[in-house]
Amino acid sequence: MKTVNWKVEGMTCSNCALTIHKYLEKEGMKDVKVSLASGDVSFELNGKQGSSQQIVKGIESLGYTVHDEEGTIAPARSKKFLSNHKQRFLFCLLFTAPLMLHMVDNWVHIHWLMNPWIQLTLCLPVYIVGMDFFGRSAIKSIRNGMPNMNVLVAIGSTAAFLYSLIGTLFNLGEGFLFYETAASVITLVFLGNFLEDASIQSTQRALNKLAKSQKVMANMIAYTDGEEHVFPVENTSLRAGDLILIKNGEQVPADCKILSGDATVNESILTGESMPLHKKSKDTLIGGSLIVDGTIRAQVTTEAKDSVLANIINLVKRAQGEKPPVQQMADKISAIFVPIVLGIAAVTFIVNFIILHNFTASLMRSIAVLVIACPCAMGLATPAAIAVGLGRAARNGILFRNSKSLELFRSIKQVVFDKTGTLTTGKFVVAGYKLIDEKLTVDEFKKITTSLEKYSNHPIAQSIATAWKHPENIRWQKIEEIKGQGMKGIAMNGDVYQAGSYQVAMAHTRDDSHNVYIMKNDELLGWIDVKDEIRPEAIQVVQYLRHKNIRTILLSGDRYNKCHQLANFLGIDEVIAEKSPEEKLTVVEDLTLQGPTAMVGDGINDAPALAKATIGISLSEASQIAVQTADVVLMNKGIKSLPLSLGLGRHTFLTIKQNLFWAFFYNIIAIPVAAFGLLTPTFGALVMGLSDVVLALNSVRLFVKKVT
């Protein structure tokens, strides 16, 4: 299976997104995600299901334009005249404005505008441009069984145009001239589409800011005849292993490792953390970050398309393309909305004609119903809010793997914290050690310890291995990490060594107060104590959760006394200690049954529990398996953005509810108002165009709204 990511232009309403989604599923594509807000389409393509070119032709036959990330999938086209809504609106406005003047003829007295042939001449270019867009789209949507809002616009404007044309041809008089209605409907809907596009684009600004940082120039280093040469290349040309020079004030072009020099680096574009970091030799740099001060030479570790920044952008795009549960109802209604409106318009015409005995008035009211109805509002309500919520989260270093997690945050009742590396920094220093075996030297003890611990991913093990780095190491026949216990190694001579928690030494000592116990052939060699500092933001985060009546729980494999001491200091409600990964999984499973539960962890032993929680939250420096298992990743190297995550989840859902209320309220009120003849088709078209803008603007408020 190959994952395909495309940008599709021409989606103007939720029915467009549904049409593309259903087409791809019909063609056998898997994991289809279509984002109306951003125009991104992704799916899994099986080679047996046809080529990319065939799928492109299929989507373009529906009336849309496809571009892949490199712009090579769809054949290159020269931009035609009137290729966007802004150009169409301005062109139509030139002809519609004079037509509208005759509506105020009592004040300006432009009698020549009353000539039906002049009105036809002015209206015809507008109608042709309108039908080139709305008509084509309407026909294709009907042909594919998914009528969109352009069907309503096309029918409404065509009815007014043909009615006026008949009046002109048969010289039936002023009562049959509604060219200004046909022209103004088309012009104002183009205006609404233009404003809607501009509003939706603003919801993508956080992601666009990240995307702009993907393509930059790099200073590549090459050596010829022993001389160093530096020349500029695009970062997309860089490959793993290439050498680059990054100067003061430049953007890091790719993920890389510093070979020489040191620098102050601003990673705020990725983490939301504005405080610059000091980086030195052997440290890693994330592509997209900024060198505030210093000059370094570095080696590229990852190609641009596989970089941290690229993965972040792809992750957010995929999340935006997913449909949270709250959108499913709106999608179902949107799918049948256009046929329902067509039926209401028909009933409006018949009932009004029976009551009023006036064909013209009945027709105008039915046209007003067609053009004021707005299926886009219901389809746009959720994607617009989700796009802004995910965009603001990405800007602040919070990555959601799916939009469902963003919605689930609103209902979280309890948060479970792992201890080491989550509430504490995970940066340990050796506080003390003791040798039990009198024959063992300190050097041998350190050699055994580092030989074992250097293979572990646990923060305590890594800190000991770093502090006690030994020039010699034991050669292992076999070595493994046992979850919840520690490391176990079998030497080439058959000796069995262990470095782990009290669980591995409990048969040999009753003293369970130490961090690491070293064993050889089931005999205790000694123990090691380490100190870990509490994260400075931990107290504020826990207090925030308690203020929001969210229960806090400390779940750890560490000893109860240490966990209880930490919990008392931070104000955590409950302590569950001395649990293996399997037991952690069971605990989180039980807690989740009691109520929606978020789990925050960073280690290998947390991965099963993260997967079982309602929402699994991992830190960016966590083990790879924890990051891959989590629903949410906090990129700012700490839990301080956890309150923002919860706040964004709750306020995004609140915004979605506000948007859906407006969408339903607008259509429930507007359609009857139009049916009773309380507004003209022209005013209806204007109101319809602005209704989507209201939703987009309400969603954009999430960028600046206080959510914590």
Position 322, amino acid: E
Tokens representing 355? Answer: 């009551």
Distance, CA of 158 to chain centre:
40
Among left, alpha and beta (phi > 0; psi -120 to 50; other), residue 451 is: alpha
Residues 135 and 143: their CA atoms lie apart, in Å, by 12
In eight-state DSSP terms, residue 145 is T
Rg of the chain over Cα atoms, rounded to whole angstroms, equals 32
Residues 18 and 30: their CA atoms lie apart, in Å, by 15
Which H/E stretch holds residue 142? Answer: helix 136-143
**Catalytic one of 255, 418, 558, 631:** 418
Q: In a 3-state reduction of DSSP, which class is residue 462?
A: helix
How is 321-336 classified by DSSP, letter by letter? HS--HHHHHHHHHHHH
Residues 8 and 10: their CA atoms lie apart, in Å, by 7
| Three-class HEC string of 211-279 | HHCCCCEEEEEEEECCEEEEEEEEHHHCCCCCEEEECCCCECCCCEEEEECCEEEECHHHHCCCCCEEE
Residues 490 and 36: their CA atoms lie apart, in Å, by 57
Tokens representing 417? Answer: 């914290």
User: How far lies 382's CA from each of 150, 377, 430, in Å?
Assistant: 21, 9, 51
Q: Other CB atoms closer than 10 Å to residue 219's CB: what's the count?
A: 16
CB 382 within 8 A of CB 326: yes
Tokens 């256009």 belong to which residue? 338
CA dihedral sign of residues 89, 90, 96, 97: positive
For 264, half-sphere exposure in the C-beta direction (CA atoms, 13 angstrom radius) is 6
Q: In a 3-state reduction of DSSP, which class is residue 530?
A: strand
Crossing angle of the two packed helices 14-26 and 136-143, in degrees rounded to 10: 40
Distance, CA of 227 to chain centre:
46
Residues 56 and 72: their CA atoms lie apart, in Å, by 11
Residues 518 and 499: their CA atoms lie apart, in Å, by 5
Tokens representing 21? Answer: 């989604």
Residues 76 and 267: their CA atoms lie apart, in Å, by 37
Active site residue 306: no
Tell me which residues are annotated as active site: 418
